[in-house]
Amino acid sequence: MSSASLGRTNLRARSAIRAAFTLLVAAAAYEAVARSGAFPKALVPTLPTVAHTLLDMLLDGTMLRHALYTMYRVLVGMGVAVAIGLPLGILMARFRAVEGFFMPLVAVLMPIPSFAWVPLFILWFGLGNTATILIVVYAATFPMLLNTWTGVRSVNPIWLRAAGAMGARGTNLFWKVIVPGASPFIVTGVRQAFLRAWIAVVGAEMIAASAWGLGWVIFDAKEFLNADIMLASLAVIGAIGFAFERLVFGSLERATVMRWGMVRAAKG
Amino acid sequence: MHHIEVRDVTLVYDTPGGKVPGVSGVSFALEPSEFLCIVGPSGCGKTTLLNILAGFLAPAVGEIRIGGKAVTGHGLDRGIVFQDFAQLFPWRTALGNVAFGLEMKGVPKEEREAIALKQLELVKLGKFAHAYPHHLSGGMQQRVAIARALAYNPAVLLMDEPFAALDALTRDEMQRLLADVWQATGKTVIYVTHNVAEAVYLADRVIVMTPHPGTVKAEIRVDLPRPRDPLSVEFLEHQKALLRHLTEQAVPA
């Protein structure tokens, strides 16, 4: 037991070192280009300059405020997307009539990039949070919906039989068998929805948001040729996205489907 | 009065390839606390019959009465154990699985967990109450499944080849355990198997079924004292008699 967990810690440490190595090589390559003099310093700032800008923005609180705006839009949008995608996905998988009605709509809407809706949403809802959040909802709903739909259809029929034999009906069957039975797909749906939402929010903020948000600050920095601000914001976008995807949803996965043995951890 | 009465039960499967008879004109009866094994080759309709008894399938003709009441759909008067280890809910611990039926009945948490723990102790898994199914061996998972089917105290236990996917040593151990559990609980058991030795070891009575269509071919009473010795002459004679019925039917008519 302890030697196994020690082995796991070891493996984790080693994969972290490997990842750090990759990132260091990439950073060094960028730094070499920035210092080569081939490009103007203002357009390709060195990493210490970017780090300095990032630190300033963190210390004066502006970066935190931008990040909080963006997080707020993503989380509200995600919440709405889950509230639509989860029940609708389950209903589509359980009732043929619901599936028959919504499937054509999903098939037509899904291939449209959420970003393509931005100008229309601005016309309808004006600049600001509403339009931005709706873009997030649009981007995140489909992965949530499709994964849930597939998950419910792949619930092992023997669980339904066993549960039925033990008198499970209606909401009990729904919450205590179907939802946990579909949970590997539902968790995947949430993770994919977050990634799509995170990509969509930055794009939407560039056009539809005003004054705050990580996407907005990047777009705004273009006006003043502030490449260091852009890169500092990109670093924050990447870091938050990574933290959420890996830590928040990763630990959701470890606490549920991996703990239950329904999904295995990758080897090595 | 009989505890279970199966009268003239017939079921035909409607497949894309045409109508396939599942079971045809099957009748038998069980006394309370009787252990009945149904033996036959694959395709003889024994699992179909069990699914009708469980209420998952409705017969086209005939009826089944349990405790005098006609069976329509499933009910908490019957506990079911399947062959597939995957029958347990992977997202629930052993205890959570066993308590499920009581939870559906609305039994309060403390009470149902106390009952579930007792059931797990009955199948000698008290120590593993908080383990998730994927941490348990196949034999242990099937014991949890038995405890789960017993927990809400059904009068009848229906078992569909529960030990068929286990290794021979574990299977022997499980058969002894099941015989003990049956004697301790006094359930009426219908147990489907294709294993002749298993049937002779467990059953008060064995029904032999033949395929195409599934009908009852023979009935053998096993009056050996328990616990049974699988190497005794009487045991082997019963086994031989059963095998004779099974091999006769293997010759195409």
pLDDT at B92 over 90: yes
Contact A260/B at CB under 8 A = yes
pLDDT for the residue B253: 45
Same-domain status, A257 and A215? yes
Number of domains observed in the structure of chain A: 2
Residue of A nearest to B76 (CA): A166
Would you write out chain A's pLDDT as a tens digit for each of its 268 residues?
A: 455 666 777 888 888 899 899 999 999 999 999 999 889 888 899 999 999 999 999 999 999 999 999 999 999 999 999 999 999 999 999 999 999 999 999 999 999 999 999 999 999 999 889 999 999 999 999 999 999 999 999 999 999 999 999 999 989 999 999 999 999 999 999 999 999 999 999 999 998 877 899 999 999 998 888 899 999 999 999 999 989 888 888 888 888 888 898 987 765 4
pLDDT at B15 over 50: yes
Same-domain status, A2 and A68? no
Of A166, A259, A262, the CB nearest to B104: A166
Same-domain status, A7 and A103? no
pLDDT for the residue B21: 79
Inter-chain touch A165–B78, beta carbons under 8 Å: yes
Sign of CA dihedral A18, A22, A23, A29: positive
Same-domain status, A45 and A76? yes
Burial of A29-50, coded b for 16+ CB within 10 Å and e otherwise, reads: eeeeebeeeeeeeeebbebebb
**Do the interacting molecules here have an ipTM over 0.85?**
yes
Contact B132/A at CB under 8 A = yes
β-bridge partners, B81: B159
Where does chain B have alpha helices with state H? 46-54, 94-105, 109-122, 138-151, 168-185, 196-202, 233-250
* A142: containing domain: 41-267
pLDDT at B89 over 50: yes
pLDDT for the residue A1: 46
pLDDT for the residue A16: 87
Same-domain status, A106 and A158? yes
Same-domain status, A215 and A105? yes
d(CA B244, CA B221): 15
Inter-chain touch A166–B132, beta carbons under 8 Å: no
pLDDT at B212 over 50: yes
Residue by residue, DSSP assigns A156-202 as: -HHHHHHHHHTT--HHHHIIIIIHHHTHHHHHHHHHHHHHHHHHHHH
Chain A positions in Cβ-Cβ contact with residue B133 (cut-off 8 Å): 261
Same-domain status, A188 and A121? yes
Residue of B nearest to A183 (CA): B91
Same-domain status, A189 and A223? yes
- A-facing residues of B in 35-54 (CB < 8 A) are 54
Inter-chain touch A260–B91, beta carbons under 8 Å: yes
Same-domain status, A137 and A108? yes
Chain A positions in Cβ-Cβ contact with residue B130 (cut-off 8 Å): none
**pLDDT tens per residue, range B166-194:** 999 999 999 999 999 999 999 999 999 99
Q: Are strands B215-221 and B205-210 parallel, antiparallel or unpaired?
A: antiparallel
pLDDT for the residue A267: 55
Residue in the structure block whose two tokens are 């707020």: A72
Name the 3-class secondary structure at A100: helix
Chain center to CA of A256: 19
Structure tokens at B24: 């045809």
Name the 3-class secondary structure at B30: strand
Same-domain status, A136 and A220? yes
Percent of chain B with pLDDT over 70: 98
Same-domain status, A49 and A169? yes
Name the 3-class secondary structure at B93: coil
Same-domain status, A53 and A158? yes
Chain A positions in Cβ-Cβ contact with residue B135 (cut-off 8 Å): 261
Of B55, B76, B84, the CB nearest to A158: B84
Inter-chain touch B90–A260, beta carbons under 8 Å: yes
Q: Which is more confident, A267 or B245?
A: B245
pTM > 0.80: yes
Closest CA to B22 of B53, B49, B55: B49
Q: Which of A161, A166, A178, A260 to mutate to test the interface with B (most CBs of B within 10 A)?
A: A166
Closest CA to B132 of B180, B140, A175: B140
User: A251: Cβ–Cβ under 8 A, 6 or more apart, which residues?
Assistant: none
**pLDDT tens per residue, range B114-123:** 999 999 999 9
